[in-house]
Amino acid sequence: MDHRRAVLTPADPAIELTLIAPVKDEEAAIGPFLDRVLPVLDGLYPDRPGAFEILFVDDGSEDATLPAIMAARRRDARVRAISFSRNFGKEAALSAGLDHARGAAVIPIDVDLQDPPEVIGDMLAKWREGYEVVYGVRTNRETDSLPKRLTADLYYRAHNYLSDDKIPEHAGDFRLLDRTVVEVIRAMPERNRFMKGLFAWGGFRQAAVEYRRVQREVGHTKFRYWKLWTLALDGITSASTMPLRVWSYIGVSIAVLSLLYAVAVVIRTVFFGSDVPGYPSLMVAILFLGGLQLISLGVLGEYVGRILVETKRRPLYVVRRKIGFGEGEEG
């Protein structure tokens, strides 16, 4: 039996909005995040205090993040949480949030408050106009370092060039998803998940809401350059087979050039006689072709590795604890 299908939470008609907040070692950020978000949501639902919920996904935190969430739950019953048995990564945390969300609309948001919760009202307005996906677009990236800005721009362009599923540039995970979109994503069985690509694959009517991104208020980012690199690889390989196909083109090109060179050698030998081949040119050819073969094997290995993960069919995540989910569950 598919583990994910065993944990899916049905929608609750009384809840219109679910905020999903993945957290990893963010004990200092839980309080400021709720202090900022709750007044915004209360202002959006002045006559319906139970129309929203905040769902934290504790991605294997090693500090006091979970106790901080439990304390918040005791103060406000609209706070709920699930806690993983270990760190499974943000993509798995977002998937778990979608699996357990009960709202008619769902918005993933980070607790660092770089994506301002005040934009949620604009997203809801677009959603009520009939858009199923409303994504936030950053009008500035001054909060990111120059290398990160350059690599992010390069990645978005490469992804959109290679894939049919176009990702809006300068848009992150901060977006509103209609329940219809959530159900489509929940039904996807793959284990190698690049959520921005899955959001794009689903299609539906989409609209953008611009906002200005600010500096992180508490804590520090958990995404290092190596994690960003592996996430980029996941995004490219999950969205396109072009990296595999390009090596077929390279192989054909090299074969044609080799044939032309062979013809040139034959003609030269017939008319001018044979000469002794040079050692440098021989080594250059061997190293060049050997390097191409190793690169092509590496690209092939990336896809084979993902096939291995898919065939194992292990669950995306393992929930150690649930808070605020009713009888028989903790909290």
Domains and CATH numbers, the chain: 3-223+313-323 (3.90.550.10), 242-312 (no CATH)
CB 141 within 8 A of CB 170: yes
**Model confidence at 116: pLDDT above 90:** no
pLDDT at 186: 86
- Which residues have C-beta within 8 Å of that of residue 132, sequence separation ≥ 6? 177, 178, 180, 181, 204, 205, 206
- Which residues have C-beta within 8 Å of that of residue 72, sequence separation ≥ 6? 30, 31, 34, 79
How confident is residue 287, by pLDDT bands cut at 50, 70 and 90? low
Highest mean pLDDT among 8-12, 52-56, 111-115: 52-56
- Which residues have C-beta within 8 Å of that of residue 110, sequence separation ≥ 6? 21, 22, 173, 174
Flag whether the pTM goes above 0.75: no
pLDDT at 3: 46
Q: In angstroms, what CA-CA distances link 311 with 9, 299, 306, 307?
A: 25, 19, 9, 6
Q: Read out DSSP for 135-165? A: EEEES--TTS-HHHHHHHHHHHHHHHHH-SS
**Model confidence at 5: pLDDT above 50:** no
| Whole-angstrom distance, CA of residue 275 vs CA of residue 287 | 22
Strands 17-23, 52-58: pairing is: parallel
Q: What are the structure tokens assigned to 82, written together?
A: 């699930």
Q: What are the structure tokens assigned to 76, written together?
A: 């406000």
Sign of CA dihedral 76, 77, 78, 81: positive
Q: What's the count of helices (H) and strands (E) in the chain, helices before strands?
A: 11, 8
